[in-house]
Each structure stands twice: as structure tokens, then as C-alpha cells.
Structure 1
Amino acid sequence: FGNLIPLDEEGHPVDESLTVEVEMGRLNVGRAPSQVLDRRLDEVITLMDTATAVATDAAGRLVFTVDGELKTIDSPLENLAIYTALMTTGTIPGVTDLPGTAFDYMVDGQLTAADLEGSAVFLAAATDKTGVFTTDEIAYIDAFLGIQTETIGSVTYSDIDYSTFDYDRQDAYGEVTVEVLVQQTDGSWVPTVVSIYDEVFGGVPAAESGTLEAYTMAAEDARMVVNFIHEYEVPVSELEASSH
């Protein structure tokens, strides 16, 4: 987890130049009472129990089919609740089965590498769409949420094992497409199917493995995709009005 920063008797850093300010944005909700996330997790559990199908959108957020309607889990609180559950116990409590087999890792009752891999998207969907993830931000929120923590003296930190985590941007998004509004040369906006890999990342490859830095890259890439979808899902009428 790196080197601990020396503190004085009052708990202040001896050398403040060694510290880095962390902007938490929406993730500050992680400091709220646990009942806040518990309530939102209950709402997700209700959807899971009644869903007849489950899939993901281009960013990897969960999409449930309930009574013939698609319901995307886009609430930051609900995504943070899912993230916390997966990273703490490796399962969504009270849910023992989901349609199909692709999401069995979420209900298998054990913490596995699949939970770690899947959780990055949920953390991304919980944060500010326009912020930029840092390793410090993720380490801080994990510690605050009590995820896999260790304590040395008065310092409590999250000690997650990322050694099995692998991320490759092209593997994750190379074949992913999404229909968004694309501005034409005449100024109009037309629904168009585009490549996430090309439009969001410019076709630039990136890969990391085995570290918090690798996990941060995965979460940041997912955040960028969420932001892209959010920006270009806006109705044409609103986009045209804002351009005048």
C-alpha cells in the first residue's frame, strides 16, 4: 500500500508536501450512514428478483428486463451499493440466481477475481461523470467503505489484492458499439451507431495488470464511456436549442 506518511502527535502530516488532496465528488456519499447504501441495494435486489433478463449497456452498467421494460442501473448510489457488496463479500445478499449465466459471479456467495473485474464499472457509474479517477481516490473510498481493510496503529487502509486483475482496453471495448447522436455537417443531430473504442479512446490501446493502477485505468475508462453515453443521449431538440 506504499509508505505511510509520518504524523505528528495531533495526527497531522509532518511534511504536508507529501500529501495529495483527493476530490471525492459523488463518492462522498460513501461517508454517509450505511443505511443509505443498504436501502439502495434493496432496490437493486428487488429488480434482480423480478428480472426476466439481464445484460449490460456499452459502459457495462447493468440493464434488467422487468415486465417487458428495460431498466438500466444508472443511479450512482445503486452502483456504489453494488460495488460495495461485490468488493466486500463477492455477492449480492439475498439473491441466489439471475437469468442466464453471465452474471453468476454476482450471486455465487464468494469473493473471486470475477467480482474484482466486474466491480470497476460499478465504481465508475457511481462517481462524477466528468471527474478523473485517481488511485488515491479509489484507495480512500475503499477504506471509508470498510472494504478489505487493515489497521496499523491509528491508520486504517484498504488492502485489496489486485495481483490477479488484468485490464486491456481493446479487449474490453474493441467490439462494443452504441447508438448515439452524432452532429452532421449541416448542424443536425442524427442517431448513429459508433465504435466506443474509436470514438471515446481514439483507437488508442492501453493495458495494465496486477496493480491498483490497472484497476484505476479500468474504472477511468468505464467512467469515460458513461460520460460519452450521457452526453450524446441528450434529445436532439435540446442539443439544437443549446447550440443557438
Structure 2
Amino acid sequence: MKTCSVSLKTLLVASTAVCALTLGLGGAASFSPFMLSSAQAQESGHSGGKGGSGGSGGHEDGGEEGGHEGGSEKGKGGTGEAGGHRGNIEDKVFDEDEGPSDEAKGPHYGGGKDVQGKPAGAGSKKGDLFGDMVVILRDENGVPVLTPEGYVQPLDAEGNPLPLNEEGEVINPDAMIEVELGRSNVARSPSKVLEGQLDEVIAAINAADSVTLDESGRIVTTTDGEEATVDSPIANLALYKTILNTGTIEGVDASKLPAELANLADGVKTDADLLSAIGFLAGATDKEGALSVDEIVYLNSILGIEGTITGADGRSYIDYSNFTYDRSSTYDGVTVTVLVETSPGVFEMQTVNVMDAVFGGADASGEDVTGYTQAADDARSVLLFVHDNSAPE
């Protein structure tokens, strides 16, 4: 089996984060018999800094505040994909109103059998449907796994499938786990909002003397000796969407980028782009609250990110099957300089090891969409730690 390795350590070599996040390429993916659910997450070993930021400090133009349910570990469940059925809860979240259909069946949150691809009861405004995102049974790429009747399968807090009635509705809807996007809610902004923020990033890169990444993978420009981090959640979301859809940030002067970041302006989609997107995702989400598989997959759909997998629901999904992540390898030797309390009320700037200071020395690893979620959430944890322990400006 032919494989090669792409390393985030290469991407971050110009910054303080020297990471080694690998993505196996070129080989056949091994099928995993289990299914995923962020509701069955385990603790991912984050340590907070001092005080916490309340999910707001450092980000600009943030959207709705909110925590995240679950984490990035895998859950178990049955299969049962049924061809021909539109059993996707995301239909209720993303489709525009085309009027009711007498043939449409299904619960209020979507997932009914609908020959026209339109869920029953969908509203006329996408924003009205935002609260209908819940944790559901997914496979190793985050694709919804449908019941034999063609309905999505919501899960409870322990990752157990919730009983459905004949119409595909959850018998005990209070047991469903809502998925919150928090600051990533800005993904629902008009496309011109994201485009405007992307234009500002492009202008900053093209005007910079140098471009690097910070310890969480966000872009940092240096102009006339002044460093500026791309901190806006909207800007990072725009970068995330652009790099995953096109593999390049059109308009960026490639000569401004070091070799390690050449993928950002190479004009093609490569596996390095999937790695770059991790830092952009970390910069777009809430600093506090663990990322979940469901959150990332819903976000991808809202942003209209095109993948190479078509689910039984007819939607497009990213193929994460060759992605692998190991925390200890990624953050081996990575340090950050932060404020440390050396005695009560006395703080000094010290350089600390990320693995120890952020993760308490605890390792974590994963593959496919679960590993990707863990990698993004670890980057978020590093961002939170540095933010909470930085010297006041």
C-alpha cells in the first residue's frame, strides 16, 4: 500500500509551534466497523489557563456565544443506510422553503422520506431552523447513517440511538442533544460578509514583510516590525471555507509566503490544505467548549464545503478516511511564552512546554473525522491557554 506523510510541523516551522500532524495519503482506507457520535466523547485532556476568557476575548466580530456539546471520540451504533431516502436532519437546517408536499413524511427536524428532497415543515428562512441541529449517528467520515426506513438516527447524551415512531420522529425529543455552533454561527452570514473579511486577509498578507503561523495555526503577518494575527472568527471561517473548497486563497501574492505555506496559493487542492484548515477552524470557533464531530460536519454543510463523498442523503461530505492525528507528535517540543504565577500575586513571563502546560502531559490520538476533530480541538485549547495567560497589552 502506497503511503506518504504530510506534516503540520512543516507548515508551522516558521512559528513557535513545530508540529507533526500527519495525513496518510495514497493508500486504501481501512473501514471501521464502528460509527461516530460526539455525544459519546471522552475528556480530551484540556487544561484551562487562569480565569478563562468567557469565550469572547481576543476574537473580533464574534457571533452568538455558546458552548459545545460532546467531544471528538467515537461512538457505536448500527448501520442501516437506505438508498433513495432523504433522511438527513440537515435538510431541515439548510433547505429553503419550497412549499409543503403531500408526499413528504418525517419529523419536524427533517429526515423524512421525500421524493422531492424537501423535508416536511421546513421554514422559509434558514436562520429559523438553526436550533434544529442535533447529535446524530454518523460514520467515520461524518456522513449520517440512516435507519432502514431512511430516517436519520438522533442519539442521546450517552450515544444511544433514540427510539423513533413510524414517522421517524423521536419519541422523547427532550433526550436529543442540540449542537451549538457558538461563534461559528457567523457561517450563516451573507457570503459577502465572509468575502469582505477574506479580502482584508489577502491585503494584509500582500502588504506584509513576512507571513507565519501562530501556535494554534492562525496566520500571522509582520509589517514594519509589527505583528498582527488573523484573529477574527469571520476571517478564519472565510479562510477555512476557501482553502477546503478551492485549495488556494485567490489573490494572495505567493512570493509573500514561505515554502511551508505555499499550499495557500498553489492554485490546487492538496492534502496540506486539510491541515491548514485546522488552524483556521480553531480560530473561528469558541475558545471555550470542546469541538464535536457533529459541529464540524454541520458547519461544513452550512458553508457549502464540497467533499468527495456523497451520502445516502444526497449531500456532499469531506473524505477524512486517511487522516491520522497524534497529539504528542504534533506538539513535541512546542513551547509558548506566557505569564506564570511564581508566587501569590507575582507573575513572570516564562517559556513553557505546550504538552505539559496545556494538556497535562496526556496524549491523544485519532483518525478519520474523529481525529480531525481532536486535532482542531487541541489547536483551540492551545489558543485558549495562550490567550488566558498572555501579558496584558
Match of 2:259 among 80, 101, 110: 101
Moved more, 160-169 or 122-131: 160-169
1:218 aligns with 2:375: yes
RMSD: 2.4
Whole-Å separation in 2 of the counterparts to 1:73 and 1:145: 19
1:15 aligns with 2:170: yes
Deviation of the 1:196 alpha carbon: 0.8
- Partner of 1:103, secondary structure, is helix
Match of 2:197 among 40, 53, 61: 40
- Partner of 2:202, secondary structure, is helix
Q: How does 1:63-82 map to 2 (within 5 A)?
A: 63-82=220-239
**8 A contact 2:310–2:317 mirrored in 1:** no
Whole-Å separation in 1 of the counterparts to 2:176 and 2:268: 36
In the alignment of these two chains, the number of paired residues is 234
Identity %: 42
Whole-Å separation in 2 of the counterparts to 1:160 and 1:104: 22
**8 A contact 2:217–2:278 mirrored in 1:** no
Whole-Å separation in 2 of the counterparts to 1:152 and 1:134: 20
Q: Deviations over 1:2-51 (max 9, x none)?
A: 75464276258522658531011000100110001000000000011112
Structure 1's unaligned 5+ residue stretches are: 237-244
Match of 1:119 among 277, 283, 287: 277
- Partner of 1:129, secondary structure, is coil
- Partner of 2:372, secondary structure, is helix
- Partner of 1:26, secondary structure, is helix
Deviation of the 1:166 alpha carbon: 2.1
1:27 aligns with 2:184: yes
**8 A contact 1:168–1:207 mirrored in 2:** yes
Deviation of the 1:56 alpha carbon: 1.6
| Equivalent residue, structure 1, for 2:386 | 229
- Partner of 1:123, secondary structure, is helix
Of Structure 1 and Structure 2, the greater helix share is in: 1
Whole-Å separation in 2 of the counterparts to 1:182 and 1:158: 46
1:169 aligns with 2:327: yes
- Bigger relative contact order, structure 1 or 2, given CA contacts below 8 A and separation 6+? 2
| Equivalent residue, structure 1, for 2:356 | 198
Whole-Å separation in 2 of the counterparts to 1:187 and 1:215: 39
TM-score norm. by structure 1 comes to: 0.87
**8 A contact 1:181–1:232 mirrored in 2:** yes
TM-score norm. by structure 2 comes to: 0.55
Whole-Å separation in 2 of the counterparts to 1:60 and 1:177: 14
Moved more, 219-228 or 97-106: 97-106
Deviation of the 1:99 alpha carbon: 3.1
Q: Deviations over 1:162-189 (max 9, x none)?
A: 1232211112212111110111223211
